[in-house]
Structure 1
Amino acid sequence: MERFSVYDHELRALFARFYPYALEHSNTHYPFGRLEGDGLWEIEDSENLKRTSVGHLSKSELLARDIHGGFTADVFEALTLDRSIAYRITTDLISQFFDASERSSLLACIGMPTSWEMESNSENECADDSERKTEESTRNLLVAPFPSGAQHEIQGATKMNQNGLISYFNSLHNIGASGANALAESQALNEYFSEIYEPFEIVDAICDVLTAGRDHVVVLTGHAGDGKSTVALDVLKRIRGLSPKDPLTSALKEVEIISHPASGSRVIHILKDMSELSAAVRLQKLEQSFEEPGSWLIVSNTGPLLNTLREFSERREALPDIESRILAYLNRPYAKHDIESHVLKMFPKDMLILNMARLDNVSLGARVLTRMINHSAWAKCDACVAQSACPLVLNRRALKATEGGAEERVRWIYQRLNAYEQRLTLRQMVAQLAFAMTGGMTCKEAKNLVLESPSEGIEKGTDGLEGVLFSEGFFGYRNGKPVQEAGGLTAVQLLRRQIFGGPVAVDFERELSSSNGNGWAILSEWLKPLSERWRLRGQESPGVQWRFAQRRMLYVFGQPIASGQAAAETYWATFLQSPRLRDFDLWATRQELIISRGERGRLCRACLRVLLEIFSGFSAGQFRQDQERLYLTLRRPDRAVVQPTQFVMATLSFQDFDLAYDEPRRLPVLQFRNGVVKLPLTLPLLDFIENRIAGDLGSELARIHLAQLEWFRAELLRVLGGSSDRFRIQLLRAGIDGQVHAHRYLLDNERQVLEVEQ
Structure 2
Amino acid sequence: MENGFVDYLKSMNNATSGNINALAESQVTNKFYNSIRVTRKLGTNISNQIKSANNVVYILTGHAGDGKTSILIQVLKELGMLGDGEKLKVDDEINKDGISLYYVKDMSELAQERQIDLLKRALEAPTNNKSAILISNTGPLLNSFQRLLGSSDEIKDKIENTLLEQLDTNENKKISLLGYDFYLVNIARIDNTGFVKEIINKICKEENWTGCRQCENKERCPVFSNYTSISENKNTVIDFVESYYRWLYENDKRITIRQMLSQISFAITGNVKCDDLKKWDKRVFTKFQYSFANLFFGYKGINMLSNAKQIKAIDYLQQLELDSIALKSDYEMFVKNNFSILPNGIQETVVRVWKEFSKRYHNEEDSKINLENDLEMRRAIRRFYLVYGLKTDLSQDRFSEILGDTFVEYKRLISEKQSPRSLRSMKKVIFDALYIKNIGIPPKNENKLYLTLTRYDGAFQSVLLLLGKANYDEIEVVQIEKDMSNEDISKKFDLYLSIKNGVERFKLNLPILMYFKSVVDGAISTDMNPALSHGLAELNSKLLKVFRYSDKNTIKMIVNTLAGTQDVEAQFEEDKVYII
The two structures share one fold, judged by TM-score above 0.5: yes
Task: After the TM superposition, list the runs of 4 or more consecutive aligned residues in structure 1 that deviate by more than 6 angstroms.
Answer: none
* Whole-Å separation in 2 of the counterparts to 1:417 and 1:704: 15
1:259: how far off? 2.7
2:143 pairs with one of 304, 307, 314? 307
Please tell me whether residue 530 in structure 1 is matched to residue 357 in structure 2: no
Structure 2 match to 1:491: 313
Give 1:464's aligned amino acid.
T
Structure 1 match to 2:489: none
2:263 pairs with one of 424, 432, 442? 432
Structure 2 match to 1:382: 213
| Other structure's SS at 2:38 match | coil
Structure 2 match to 1:35: none
- The answer (yes or no) to whether the contact 2:498–2:506 under 8 Å persists in 1 is yes
| Other structure's SS at 2:426 match | helix
* Whole-Å separation in 1 of the counterparts to 2:21 and 2:176: 38
Structure 2 match to 1:26: none
Please tell me whether residue 267 in structure 1 is matched to residue 105 in structure 2: no
Structure 1 match to 2:110: 277
Give 1:195's aligned amino acid.
S
Give the greater-gyration-radius structure (CA). Answer: 1
- The answer (yes or no) to whether the contact 2:81–2:94 under 8 Å persists in 1 is no
In structure 2, relative to structure 1, the CA distance for the partners of 1:674 and 1:537 (3 Å cut) is farther
Please tell me whether residue 659 in structure 1 is matched to residue 483 in structure 2: no
| Other structure's SS at 2:569 match | strand
| Other structure's SS at 2:422 match | helix
* Whole-Å separation in 2 of the counterparts to 1:535 and 1:651: 63
1:413-467 deviation digits (Å, cap 9, x = unpaired)? 1112223351111111110111001111123323x25xx52xxxxxx53132133
1:197: how far off? 2.4
Please tell me whether residue 479 in structure 1 is matched to residue 301 in structure 2: yes
In structure 2, relative to structure 1, the CA distance for the partners of 1:370 and 1:581 (3 Å cut) is farther
- The answer (yes or no) to whether the contact 1:394–1:526 under 8 Å persists in 2 is no
Structure 2 match to 1:712: 539
1:150-189 to 2 correspondence within 5 Å?
Answer: 161-189=1-29
1:634: how far off? 2.0
* Whole-Å separation in 1 of the counterparts to 2:238 and 2:320: 20
Higher relative contact order (CA closer than 8 Å, sequence separation 6+): 2
1:267: how far off? 1.2
Which moves more between the two structures, 411-420 or 508-517? 508-517
1:496: how far off? 2.0
* Whole-Å separation in 2 of the counterparts to 1:727 and 1:740: 26
Which moves more between the two structures, 474-483 or 367-376? 367-376
Task: Please give the TM-score of this superposition, normalised by the length of structure 1.
Answer: 0.69
1:227-279 deviation digits (Å, cap 9, x = unpaired)? 0000000011112277xxxx623211222323365xx2x51112111112211
1:749: how far off? 4.7
Which moves more between the two structures, 467-476 or 310-319? 310-319
In structure 2, relative to structure 1, the CA distance for the partners of 1:679 and 1:615 (3 Å cut) is farther
1:277-314 deviation digits (Å, cap 9, x = unpaired)? 21111111122223351121001111211121111013
Structure 2 match to 1:682: 509
In structure 2, relative to structure 1, the CA distance for the partners of 1:317 and 1:547 (3 Å cut) is closer
Give 2:71's aligned amino acid.
V
Which moves more between the two structures, 408-417 or 496-505? 496-505
Give 1:167's aligned amino acid.
D
In structure 2, relative to structure 1, the CA distance for the partners of 1:531 and 1:277 (3 Å cut) is farther
Q: Structure 1 unaligned segments of length 5 or more: list them.
A: 1-160, 454-459
Which moves more between the two structures, 167-176 or 345-354? 345-354
2:396 pairs with one of 560, 565, 568? 568
Structure 1 match to 2:133: 297
1:325-404 to 2 correspondence within 5 Å?
Answer: 325-334=162-171, 339-340=172-173, 343-374=174-205, 376-404=207-235
| Other structure's SS at 2:16 match | coil
Structure 2 match to 1:36: none
Task: Please give the TM-score of this superposition, normalised by the length of structure 2.
Answer: 0.88
1:187-228 deviation digits (Å, cap 9, x = unpaired)? 212222223222222123322443454433210000111100
Give 2:86's aligned amino acid.
S
* Whole-Å separation in 2 of the counterparts to 1:171 and 1:478: 19
Which moves more between the two structures, 249-258 or 300-309? 249-258
| Other structure's SS at 1:218 match | strand
1:725: how far off? 4.8
* Whole-Å separation in 2 of the counterparts to 1:522 and 1:463: 17
Give 1:271's aligned amino acid.
V
* Whole-Å separation in 1 of the counterparts to 2:245 and 2:497: 24
Structure 1 match to 2:41: 201
1:526: how far off? 4.5
1:643-658 to 2 correspondence within 5 Å?
Answer: 643-658=461-476
Structure 2 match to 1:608: 431
| Other structure's SS at 1:181 match | helix
Give 1:644's aligned amino acid.
S
1:382-413 deviation digits (Å, cap 9, x = unpaired)? 21112234221111111122131101111111
- The answer (yes or no) to whether the contact 1:240–1:258 under 8 Å persists in 2 is no
Give 2:407's aligned amino acid.
L
* Whole-Å separation in 2 of the counterparts to 1:645 and 1:380: 75
* Whole-Å separation in 1 of the counterparts to 2:431 and 2:26: 52
2:386 pairs with one of 540, 548, 555? 555
In structure 2, relative to structure 1, the CA distance for the partners of 1:421 and 1:502 (3 Å cut) is farther
| Other structure's SS at 2:505 match | strand
1:634 pairs with one of 446, 449, 453? 453
| Other structure's SS at 2:405 match | coil
Give 2:162's aligned amino acid.
R
In structure 2, relative to structure 1, the CA distance for the partners of 1:698 and 1:373 (3 Å cut) is farther
- The answer (yes or no) to whether the contact 1:195–1:375 under 8 Å persists in 2 is no
1:320-357 deviation digits (Å, cap 9, x = unpaired)? 421232112111145xxxx22xx220244311100011
1:544 pairs with one of 338, 363, 375? 375
1:636-656 deviation digits (Å, cap 9, x = unpaired)? 4x5475431012111001101
1:530: how far off? 3.4
Structure 2 match to 1:255: 91
| Other structure's SS at 1:395 match | helix
1:662: how far off? 4.2
| Other structure's SS at 2:22 match | coil
1:163-188 deviation digits (Å, cap 9, x = unpaired)? 11111111001222431111111121
- The answer (yes or no) to whether the contact 1:370–1:404 under 8 Å persists in 2 is no
- The answer (yes or no) to whether the contact 1:220–1:299 under 8 Å persists in 2 is yes
Structure 1 match to 2:365: none
* Whole-Å separation in 2 of the counterparts to 1:440 and 1:653: 60
* Whole-Å separation in 2 of the counterparts to 1:318 and 1:710: 31
2:421 pairs with one of 587, 590, 598? 598
Structure 2 match to 1:324: 161
1:745 pairs with one of 562, 569, 577? 569
1:66-104 deviation digits (Å, cap 9, x = unpaired)? xxxxxxxxxxxxxxxxxxxxxxxxxxxxxxxxxxxxxxx
Q: Structure 2 unaligned segments of length 5 or more: list them.
A: 363-369, 483-491
In structure 2, relative to structure 1, the CA distance for the partners of 1:376 and 1:551 (3 Å cut) is same
| Other structure's SS at 1:362 match | coil
1:635: how far off? 2.6
1:598: how far off? 2.2
Which moves more between the two structures, 267-276 or 358-367? 358-367
- The answer (yes or no) to whether the contact 1:217–1:290 under 8 Å persists in 2 is yes
In structure 2, relative to structure 1, the CA distance for the partners of 1:597 and 1:640 (3 Å cut) is closer
1:684: how far off? 1.8
- The answer (yes or no) to whether the contact 1:684–1:701 under 8 Å persists in 2 is no
1:672 pairs with one of 486, 494, 499? 499
* Whole-Å separation in 1 of the counterparts to 2:309 and 2:476: 44
